[in-house]
Amino acid sequence: MTRKGITVDEARAFLREVAPAPVPRKIALRKALGRVLTAPVVATRDQPPFDASAMDGYAICKSLTDPVAQSAPLKLIGESIAGKRFEGRVEWGQCVRIFTGAPVPDGAKAVVIQENVRHTDHGIFIEADGWNDPKTHIRPRGQDFKAGHELLSAGLRLDPWRLSLAAAAGSKSVTVARRPRIAILSTGDELVAPGDDPRPDQIFESGSFALMAMCRQWGAKAEFLGVESDDLDGIHDAVKACEADLIVTIGGASVGDYDLVKPALERLGLTLDFSSINIRPGKPTWTGTLANDQRVLGLPGNPASAMVCAQLFLKPWIEAALGQPEPPQPHRLPMASDISANGPRETFLRARIVTDASGQPTLKPFADQDSSLIAVFSQSDALIRRPANAPALQRGEMAEYVRLDRYI
């Protein structure tokens, strides 16, 4: 039997559970930004692979605090540069010119920086500051990481810093999850593409722009099936030939006479898992499968409802399909203003994160939480989570929130 009014947590868990298992793909590291590892990156070598100089200077073999050695100039016996080591050994009374990143020669115990050295007719003379420098300026072999260490584990998403680590470990390619394919369909007679000529009773279609971008931002491939009018045949035909792993519909989710998405998909064997969630905004959110086992997630048309529910239910599906673990929950911050007690529907309030007089970040909900408001969403940093029947909160009290993935 189709379930109605399930909880937000139940719906999130369900969407994670029904997501397809990640499919591994080997790809070039250069193309791996934003992809999720399905196999760990393991160091095949120590980094650095040798004791390396951290500075430009002179490698010497003796203790920096040896008072006898300090008086005499040192004989320069060679050079160690990054990529070409000095092959010999440094002995007492000798030094080797060395540059940052170069292997420290055998026998050397420290590098004296060149600012603390004077060239004399008798050799290299180390100034008192050089002798008194407590640092060796040597990076020991394996300081960064050691051969055999798991540097990046499966389930991690590759960002610029992780890409760099994989490269430093010598990985030319990485094994990542195939990006799940998501097809998005907008429905409604009132919708025209931005730039087209709307009739007076029409509006510009905007929901798919958020949804496509969210899918891509979260690591999926997104395809737009277009805008269909409220017409059974049109909706059926748009979805019929679609090969995506998930079909997301926007609009036509509710109970109105022209909310036709579910009736149109019944012709393709739609079986519903649940038909609504106990949430505001986004109550008519539903999911089910077609006869060919393709999953459909139906989002309500109101832009805030669609975006909140994409954040809460589509994102977990994508994360699971990519093999990412559940992100840590919840985050909490103090409220910047009072909020009243919540009703029986779990509620997500669009809010900004603002710093108070003491520099502490706080949650400031927008006064108008109507689910049609696109401008409010465009300024929001977070969704404040208000459990069903939660009591009123006063300014300064802690509230749970979901951080939105905004560019700063």
Contact set with ligand LQZAQKY5 (CB under 6 A): 186, 188, 190-191, 203, 205-208, 250-256, 259, 281, 283-284, 300-303, 305, 371-372
**Residue 203, binding choice from ligand MOO, ligand LQZAQKY5, none, Cβ under 5 to 8 Å by partner class:** ligand LQZAQKY5
**Residue 251, binding choice from ligand LQZAQKY5, ligand MOO, none, Cβ under 5 to 8 Å by partner class:** ligand LQZAQKY5
| Contact indicator for 168, 41 with CB cutoff of 8 Å | no
Least distance to ligand MOO, CB of residue 299, Å: 9
**Interacting residue ranges for ligand MOO, rule: CB under 6 A:** 280-283, 300, 302, 305, 371
Extract the tokens encoding 104: 């420290």
| Contact indicator for 24, 177 with CB cutoff of 8 Å | yes
**Residue 386, binding choice from ligand MOO, ligand LQZAQKY5, none, Cβ under 5 to 8 Å by partner class:** none
**Residue 190, binding choice from ligand LQZAQKY5, ligand MOO, none, Cβ under 5 to 8 Å by partner class:** ligand LQZAQKY5
Cα gap 224→221, rounded to integer Å: 10
Helix, strand, or coil (residue 29):
helix
* DSSP codes of every residue in 89-130: B--TTEEEEE-TTPBPPBT--EEEEGGGEEEETTEEEE-HHH
Least distance to ligand LQZAQKY5, CB of residue 211, Å: 8
Cα gap 211→194, rounded to integer Å: 15
Cα gap 307→287, rounded to integer Å: 16
Least distance to ligand LQZAQKY5, CB of residue 407, Å: 22
Shorter beta-carbon distance to ligand LQZAQKY5: residue 285 or 362: 285
Shorter beta-carbon distance to ligand MOO: residue 130 or 281: 281
Shorter beta-carbon distance to ligand MOO: residue 3 or 141: 3
**Residue 22, binding choice from ligand MOO, ligand LQZAQKY5, none, Cβ under 5 to 8 Å by partner class:** none
β-pair type (173-177, 24-28): antiparallel
**Residue 207, binding choice from ligand LQZAQKY5, ligand MOO, none, Cβ under 5 to 8 Å by partner class:** ligand LQZAQKY5
**Among candidate residues 178, 180, 206, 174, the one with its CA nearest the CA of residue 193:** 206
**Residue 252, binding choice from ligand LQZAQKY5, ligand MOO, none, Cβ under 5 to 8 Å by partner class:** ligand LQZAQKY5
| Contact indicator for 387, 346 with CB cutoff of 8 Å | yes
**Residue 191, binding choice from ligand LQZAQKY5, ligand MOO, none, Cβ under 5 to 8 Å by partner class:** ligand LQZAQKY5
Cα gap 98→83, rounded to integer Å: 11
Number of Cβ within 10 Å of residue 124's Cβ equals 20
* Residues facing 112 on adjacent strands: 58
Least distance to ligand MOO, CB of residue 316, Å: 19
Task: Tell me the chain's radius of gyration from C-alpha atoms.
Answer: 31
Shorter beta-carbon distance to ligand MOO: residue 157 or 315: 315
Residue with tokens 């920096």: 64
Extract the tokens encoding 177: 């999850």
Least distance to ligand MOO, CB of residue 140, Å: 59
Least distance to ligand MOO, CB of residue 239, Å: 22
Residue nearest ligand LQZAQKY5 (C-beta atom): 301
b/e per residue 230-262 (b: at least 16 CB within 10 A): beeebbbebbeebebbbbbbbbbbbeeeebbbb
Least distance to ligand MOO, CB of residue 348, Å: 10
Shorter beta-carbon distance to ligand MOO: residue 307 or 363: 307
* Residues facing 330 on adjacent strands: none
Least distance to ligand MOO, CB of residue 46, Å: 55
